[in-house]
Structure 1
């Protein structure tokens, strides 16, 4: 089960990722997220680590656009 987000920046990033996947059918790149959330790629990596730690997303190291939403419905 995932933890609640309770952080505006994480909520914004998670919503961006969800909307991007829903609209385009594939995961955003780090640059897409950086542009869409007005942050640096380094900060994107840090916040993705936190979303992954909260079990809201999964990623495959070394694979581009590998962000996947967790399978549970309570994440949104």
Structure 2
């Protein structure tokens, strides 16, 4: 059975242990949000922007493929067809 923390010191120790566990499970090169530097935060935003652009590019490609397949671009694909 898991022991529950007692008092503020117990809760602080538990929070620190959980933070260390989360940090240990992160992929290489990643940090917890409260440990991030400005440079790593900027890199994260750059990666998010790139992922967003990749997603939008994939959506455009699928729309172009659908238009080429059915010969019309005024409607999207019908589900199940």
Q: TM-score, normalised by structure 2?
A: 0.27
Give the structure with the higher percent strand: 1
More relative contact order in 1 or in 2 (CA 8 Å, sep 6+)? 1
Instruction: Give the number of the structure whose alpha-carbon radius of gyration is greater.
Output: 2
Q: TM-score, normalised by structure 1?
A: 0.28
Give the structure with the higher percent helix: 2
